[in-house]
């Protein structure tokens, strides 16, 4: 199936509310466990001197879980949508875990502008994470240039995203499954995301062709891809 891009930022209020109100916690805990196991395997531990950045953080679901998992490490969630950042801040302030989220802050910035905004002058990024971001980005060069620009020689990258279905029929089946759990706005967004996602081959080829061989791509089941490693 050909890739059909979707708008990068999620700025519509009803779109943001639908996303925020959905329960994706199972997949989110799964991602935190995957990151944690990966760091353990690399014998990489995170402490006070480190900085974790969650790109395209949305309403902060992953950022909050990262902040709780690594309580001594500063976590910064970044999203280009003001509406999403407002939600993320509201969620943090109203969370039952509020006291455990003192190490978490949010910044509203398009990922393309992060470097020029000089947001991380005090600390270097140790862990650079994203979930469901890559498919929003108009082309892979923009995504990889961003993570290359933000990474240093110790930065561990871990980026999980949807994998584009092989054909329209499979995409429609996944859309149908989604509609049994989530509302119409979210179901339509999910379908648009599936069509906008990249394939394993597209990501792998980009890495090979652009001197990014310390990164790799992993197919996580039949629905997800993970780009991980150093840049
Ligand atoms: C599908 S949501 C995922 C949110 C969150 N990572 C999660 O897993 O719950 C994708 C988010 O990426 C943000 N985004 C897309 N393109 C972006 C860009 N160029 N710069 C910053 N944020 C972006 C959108 O605004 C949206 O909030």
Over the stretch 191-221, which tens digit does the pLDDT of each residue have? 999 999 999 999 999 999 999 989 999 999 9
Separation of 7 CA from ligand 1 center, angstroms?
10
For residue 220, the CA-to-ligand 1 centroid distance in Å is 20
Atom of ligand 1 nearest to the CA of 61: 9
Whole-number pLDDT of residue 117 = 65
Ligand 1 centroid – CA 137 distance (Å): 9
pLDDT for the residue numbered 192: 98
Pocket probe mutation, ligand 1, options 9, 11, 52, 114, max atoms within 8 Å of Cβ: 9
Domain count of the fold of the chain: 2
Looking at the domain assignment, is residue 4 inside a domain? no
Beta pairing, strands 224-229 & 215-220: antiparallel
Q: Please give the structure tokens belonging to residue 148.
A: 């290359």
Q: Do both 54 and 156 map to the same domain? A: yes
- Residues 139 and 190 both lie in one domain: no
Residues 86, 171 within the same domain: no
Is residue 131 located within the same domain as residue 153? yes
Say whether both 57 and 76 belong to one domain.
yes
Strand partners, 159: 130, 227
Say whether both 42 and 84 belong to one domain. Answer: yes
**Degrees (nearest 5) of the Cα angle 73, 95, 18?**
110
Query: Is residue 72 domain-shared with residue 105, that is, in the same domain?
Result: yes
Residue 38 placed within a domain: yes
Half-sphere exposure of 13 (CA within 13 A, CB side): 0
Residues 216/38, Cβ–Cβ less than 8 Å: no
Distance 93 CA to ligand 1 centre (A): 20
In a domain, 30, yes or no: yes
Per-residue pLDDT band for 155 (boundaries 50, 70, 90) equals very high
**Residue 40 shares a structural domain with residue 144:** yes
Half-sphere exposure of 160 (CA within 13 A, CB side): 18
Whether residue 97 is found in the same domain as residue 116:
yes
pLDDT surpasses 80 at 118: no
Q: Candidates 79, 114, 145, 190: which one to mutate for ligand 1, based on the most atoms within 8 Å of Cβ?
A: 79
What is the average pLDDT across 126-149?
A: 96
Q: Which residues pair with 227 in a beta bridge?
A: 159, 217
Do 69 and 37 fall into the same domain?
yes
Give 31-60 pLDDT, tens digit per residue: 999 999 999 999 999 999 999 999 999 999
Q: What mean pLDDT is reported for the chain?
A: 96
Contact 62, 31 (CB under 8 A): yes
- What domain range includes position 186? 165-197
- Whether 213 maps to a domain, the answer reads yes
Verdict on whether the full-model pTM lies above 0.85: yes
User: Quick check: CB of 129 below 6 Å from ligand 1?
Assistant: no
Measured from the CA of 109, which atom of ligand 1 is nearest?
A: 21
Distance CA 11, CA 125 (A): 27
Same domain, 142 and 218: yes
With a 6 Å cutoff on the Cβ, whether 20 touches ligand 1 is: no
Cα 171 to Cα 163, 187, 197, distances in angstroms: 11, 11, 11
Instruction: Decide if 13 contacts 83 (C-beta within 8 A).
Output: yes
In a domain, 12, yes or no: no
């Amino acid at each position: 199936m050909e890739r059909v891009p979707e708008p990068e930022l999620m700025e519509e209020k009803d779109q943001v509310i639908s996303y925020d109100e959905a329960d994706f916690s199972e997949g989110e805990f799964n991602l935190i466990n995957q990151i944690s196991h990966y760091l353990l395997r690399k014998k990489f531990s995170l402490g006070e001197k480190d900085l974790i950045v969650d790109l395209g953080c949305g309403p902060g679901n992953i950022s909050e879980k990262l902040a709780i998992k690594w309580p001594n490490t500063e976590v910064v969630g970044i999203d280009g949508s003001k509406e999403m950042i407002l939600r993320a801040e509201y969620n943090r302030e109203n969370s039952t875990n509020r006291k455990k989220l003192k190490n978490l802050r949010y910044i509203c910035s398009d990922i393309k502008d992060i470097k020029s905004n000089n947001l991380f002058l005090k600390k270097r990024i140790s862990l650079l994470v994203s979930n469901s971001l890559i498919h929003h980005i108009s082309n892979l060069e923009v995504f990889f240039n961003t993570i290359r620009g933000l990474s240093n020689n110790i930065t561990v990258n871990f980026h999980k995203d949807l994998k584009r279905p092989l054909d329209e029929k499979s995409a429609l089946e996944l859309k149908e499954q989604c509609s049994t759990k989530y509302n119409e706005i979210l179901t339509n967004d999910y379908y648009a995301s599936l069509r906008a996602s990249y394939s394993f081959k597209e990501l792998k080829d980009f890495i090979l062709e652009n001197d990014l061989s310390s990164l790799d791509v992993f197919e996580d089941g039949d629905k997800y891809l993970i780009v991980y490693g150093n840049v």
